[in-house]
C-alpha cells in the first residue's frame, strides 16, 4: 500500500487544491475516499490517529442485516444492510464470510412462531432462505454447557463476519491504488471559510508539528462519534450521542463453539452474543452512555464486565467460566444519532449525511453499509464539484482466486490472505522468510503478514501493527507480550527503528494494553 515516504506525501499535498478533503480514517472515511477517487475526483484523507483507530476497529465484527432492526421497525436500515451483506459476501470472500447464528428459544422467551416470522422476513429481504428450526439435541451438541432448563429448541440462520480494521485497510489500499492520497496521524485543526462556505482546512502533522492550509472544494467530516467537534467549531449544534459497546474475550478452549449464539440478557432482555473470532470467542456487546473524552482510548467498565459475566453465567452454567479465564477486553464508541429517546440502545442506526455550507458531515450508520453511505455523500459533493456520480454497480474489490497462491498453504489460509490483501497476498508469500508462513500462536495471522504490514501499511507506532494491522492486542493475554521478541526481529528492520525507539514503543504498547485492552482485576468484581 505504501509507495511514498511520509515526507514525500506531505510535500505532495502542499499547494495543491483537492476536490474533496476527507477528515476521518474509519470505514466511512475510506469508503468515501475510494468511491470519490473512482469517480475521478482529486482526494485527500487525513486521520488524527491511525486508520480504524476508533469505532471501525472495535465493532462486533459482524456484517449483518440487523435482525433487531425488524423489531424496532427500522425496515430501511434492515433492507439496505441485507443487500450490502450479500454484495460483500460475493465480492470480499475471505474477508467477509458467512457465519451460522443459533437462536435458542426458551419457554420464558418469545413464542417460536414470532421468532420464525421474523427470520422469514429477514430471509425474504436477502432473497434466499437460510433459517431452519433446530431441536434441543442440536443445541446441546453445538453449544456445550448451554442452559437447557425450559429450552424448546430454536432456530439457525446465516449472517456474516469480518475483521473490521482489515476491511478498512483493504478499502484504503484500493483507494490509494486508484490515486487517492491518505495520511494517518494528521489532524484537521480548523475549517477555512470564505463567503459563508468552506474553502479548505488547516492540517497538522502530529509527529513533526508541521502545518499546512489545504484548499478544497468540499470537506467531508467522517469522524464518527467525534463528528460534532468539527461541526460545533463550524457553528452547528450537537447531533451525535456517543454510546459505548464493550466485549470480553475468551479462548475457544474455554467456550468451545463454532457458531454465533444470540440470547436475551437475563437482566434487561437485550440481545447478547457469543461468537468465534480469531481463534477466540467474544462476548458482547454492552450499550451504555459514553461521556469520557473521545480522544482517550475507551475501556470496559466494571459494571459492563458484571453485565456480560451475568449473561455467560446464566446461559453457559455447564462451562464454569470465571473472569480469570478471559484473555482480553475492548470497548468501542458508537455514533448514535440523537432523536430524543431516553434509551441509547433504541437510537436510530441510520446514517446521517448533512451538508453545512460545503462541509458534509457523515456519522452513524453501520459497518455493513459503508458503500451506500459513500454514494449518498457523493450525491452531496456533486453540488460543489462538476462530476457525474458513479451509478454502475462495480464489484467492491478486485478479487484474487486463492488457487493462484501456493498449493502447499492450506486452503483456508489462502482464502483469508486473498480476502484480506487481494493481489498483495502474492507479495506477502514471496517476501516471507523461513518460518514466517506459520501462524502466530493462538491467532490466524501469519508471521509474514507482520513483515508486510510493517513495510507497506503506514505503521507509525507499534500499537498500529499489533492492534489494527494484526489483532494480537485484541485477543491475546497481555497483548501477546511473550511474542514481542519475535515480533521485534521481524518488524524492527522493516520499520527502521533503532533500539531505543523500539523499546519505547514496546513500553507504550504494553501500557496501552494494560489500560484499555486487559481484563479488569477479578478482585474488583467482589
Instruction: Tell me: do 293 and 314 sit in the same domain.
Output: yes
Instruction: Tell me: do 189 and 263 sit in the same domain.
Output: no
Radius of gyration of the chain measured on its C-alpha atoms = 23
Domain residue limits at 248: 96-159+241-332
Domain CATH for 371 = 3.50.50.60
Q: Is residue 103 within 8 Å of residue 262, measured between CB atoms? A: yes
Residue 315 domain-assigned (yes or no): yes
Instruction: Tell me: do 286 and 365 sit in the same domain.
Output: no
- Residue 25 CB neighbours (<10 A): 32
Residue 155 domain-assigned (yes or no): yes
Instruction: Tell me: do 216 and 323 sit in the same domain.
Output: no
Identify the CA nearest to 145 among candidates 305, 268, 279, 263.
263
Residue 25 domain-assigned (yes or no): yes
Instruction: Tell me: do 309 and 175 sit in the same domain.
Output: no
Residue 360 domain-assigned (yes or no): yes
Domain ends where: 307, 332, 357? 332
φ and ψ at residue 47, rounded to 5 degrees: -130, 125
pTM for this model (two decimals): 0.94
145, containing H or E segment: none
Q: For residue 285, is the peptide bond before it cis, meaning its omega torsion is within 30 degrees of 0?
A: yes
pLDDT by position in tens, the chain (length 526)? 666 789 999 999 988 999 999 999 999 999 999 999 999 999 999 999 999 999 999 999 999 766 666 666 666 777 788 889 889 999 999 999 999 999 999 886 655 555 666 777 767 766 677 888 999 999 999 999 999 999 999 989 889 999 999 999 999 999 999 999 999 999 999 999 988 889 999 999 999 999 999 999 999 999 999 998 888 877 788 889 999 999 999 999 999 999 999 989 999 988 899 999 999 999 999 999 998 898 999 999 999 999 999 999 999 999 999 999 999 999 999 988 876 555 545 555 567 899 998 999 998 878 999 999 999 999 999 999 988 776 557 888 989 999 999 999 999 999 999 999 999 999 999 999 999 999 999 999 999 999 999 999 999 999 999 999 999 999 999 999 999 999 999 999 999 999 999 999 999 999 999 999 999 875 444 4
Residue 439 domain-assigned (yes or no): no
- Residue 69: predicted pLDDT: 64
Instruction: Tell me: do 26 and 109 sit in the same domain.
Output: no
Instruction: Tell me: do 212 and 119 sit in the same domain.
Output: no
Bridge partners, residue 356, by sequence:
359
Instruction: Tell me: do 148 and 257 sit in the same domain.
Output: yes
Instruction: Tell me: do 253 and 230 sit in the same domain.
Output: no
* Helix then strand then coil, % of the chain, to nearest 5: 40, 25, 35
Instruction: Tell me: do 318 and 371 sit in the same domain.
Output: no
Residue 152 domain-assigned (yes or no): yes
359 Cβ contact partners less than 8 Å away, ≥ 6 residues apart: 191, 198, 218, 219, 220, 221, 230, 231, 234
- Residue 20: predicted pLDDT: 98
- What are the grid coordinates assigned to 143, written together? 453449544
- Specify the DSSP class assigned to residue 440: P
Number of domains making up the chain: 2
Domain CATH for 278 = 3.30.9.10
Q: Is residue 24 within 8 Å of residue 196, measured between CB atoms? A: no
Instruction: Tell me: do 174 and 153 sit in the same domain.
Output: no
- Rounded distance between C-alpha atoms, residue 235 and residue 418, angstroms: 45
Print burial letters for 113-127: b (CB count within 10 Å at least 16), e (below 16). Answer: eebbebbeebbebbe
- Residue 387: predicted pLDDT: 86
Residue 483 domain-assigned (yes or no): no
Instruction: Tell me: do 276 and 318 sit in the same domain.
Output: yes
Residue 461 domain-assigned (yes or no): no
- Rounded distance between C-alpha atoms, residue 45 and residue 175, angstroms: 10
Amino acid at each position: 500500500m505504501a509507495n511514498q515516504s511520509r515526507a514525500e506525501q506531505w510535500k505532495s499535498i502542499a499547494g495543491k487544491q483537492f476536490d474533496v478533503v476527507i477528515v476521518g480514517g474509519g470505514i466511512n472515511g475510506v469508503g468515501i475516499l475510494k468511491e470519490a477517487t473512482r469517480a475521478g475526483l482529486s482526494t485527500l484523507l487525513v486521520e488524527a490517529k491511525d486508520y480504524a483507530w476508533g469505532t471501525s476497529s472495535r465493532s462486533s465484527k459482524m456484517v449483518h442485516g440487523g435482525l433487531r432492526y425488524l423489531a424496532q421497525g427500522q425496515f430501511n436500515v434492515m433492507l439496505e444492510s441485507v443487500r450490502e451483506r450479500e454484495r460483500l459476501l460475493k465480492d470480499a470472500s475471505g474477508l467477509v464470510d458467512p457465519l451460522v447464528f443459533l437462536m435458542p428459544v426458551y419457554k420464558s422467551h418469545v413464542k417460536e412462531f414470532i421468532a420464525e416470522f421474523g427470520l422469514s422476513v429477514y430471509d425474504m429481504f436477502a432473497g434466499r432462505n437460510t433459517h431452519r428450526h433446530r431441536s434441543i439435541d442440536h443445541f446441546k451438541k453445538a453449544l456445550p454447557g448451554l442452559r437447557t432448563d425450559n429450552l424448546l429448541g430454536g432456530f439457525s440462520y446465516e449472517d456474516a463476519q469480518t475483521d473490521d480494521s482489515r476491511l478498512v485497510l483493504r478499502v484504503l489500499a484500493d483507494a490509494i491504488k486508484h490515486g487517492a492520497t491518505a495520511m494517518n496521524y494528521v489532524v484537521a485543526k480548523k475549517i477555512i471559510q470564505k463567503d459563508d462556505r468552506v474553502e479548505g482546512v488547516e492540517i497538522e502533522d502530529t509527529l513533526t508539528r508541521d502545518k499546512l492550509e489545504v484548499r478544497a472544494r468540499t470537506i467531508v467530516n467522517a469522524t464518527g462519534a467525534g463528528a460534532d467537534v468539527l461541526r460545533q467549531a463550524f457553528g452547528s449544534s450537537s447531533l451525535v450521542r456517543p454510546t459505548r459497546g464493550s466485549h470480553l474475550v475468551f479462548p475457544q478452549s474455554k467456550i468451545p463453539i463454532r457458531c454465533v449464539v444470540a440470547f436475551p440478557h437475563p437482566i434487561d432482555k437485550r440481545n447478547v452474543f457469543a461468537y468465534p473470532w480469531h481463534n477466540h470467542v467474544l462476548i458482547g456487546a454492552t450499550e451504555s452512555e459514553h461521556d469520557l473524552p473521545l480522544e482517550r482510548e475507551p475501556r470496559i467498565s466494571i459494571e459492563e464486565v458484571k453485565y456480560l459475566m451475568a449473561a455467560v453465567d446464566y446461559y453457559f452454567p455447564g462451562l464454569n467460566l470465571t473472569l480469570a479465564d478471559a484473555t482480553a477486553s475492548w470497548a468501542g464508541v458508537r455514533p448514535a444519532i440523537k432523536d430524543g429517546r431516553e434509551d441509547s440502545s433504541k437510537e436510530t442506526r441510520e446514517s446521517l449525511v448533512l451538508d453545512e455550507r460545503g462541509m458534509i458531515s457523515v456519522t452513524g450508520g453501520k459497518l455493513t453499509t459503508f458503500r451506500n453511505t459513500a454514494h449518498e455523500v457523493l450525491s452531496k459533493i456533486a453540488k460543489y464539484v462538476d462530476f457525474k456520480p458513479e451509478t454502475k454497480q462495480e464489484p467492491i474489490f478486485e478479487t484474487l482466486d486463492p488457487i493462484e497462491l501456493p498449493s502447499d498453504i492450506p486452503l483456508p489460509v489462502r482464502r483469508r490472505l486473498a480476502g484480506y490483501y487481494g493481489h498483495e497476498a502474492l507479495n506477502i508469500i514471496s517476501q516471507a522468510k523461513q518460518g514466517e508462513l506459520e501462524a502466530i500462536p493462538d491467532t490466524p495471522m501469519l508471521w509474514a503478514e507482520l513483515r508486510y504490514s510493517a513495510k507497506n501499511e503506514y505503521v507509525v507506532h507499534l500499537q498500529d501493527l499489533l492492534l489494527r494491522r494484526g489483532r494480537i492486542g485484541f485477543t491475546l493475554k497481555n497483548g501477546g507480550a511473550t511474542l514481542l521478541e519475535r515480533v521485534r526481529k521481524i518488524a524492527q528492520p522493516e520499520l527502521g527503528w533503532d533500539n531505543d525507539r523500539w523499546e519505547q514503543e514496546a513500553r507504550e504498547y504494553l501500557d496501552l494494553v494494560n489500560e484499555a485492552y486487559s481484563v479488569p482485576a477479578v478482585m474488583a468484581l467482589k
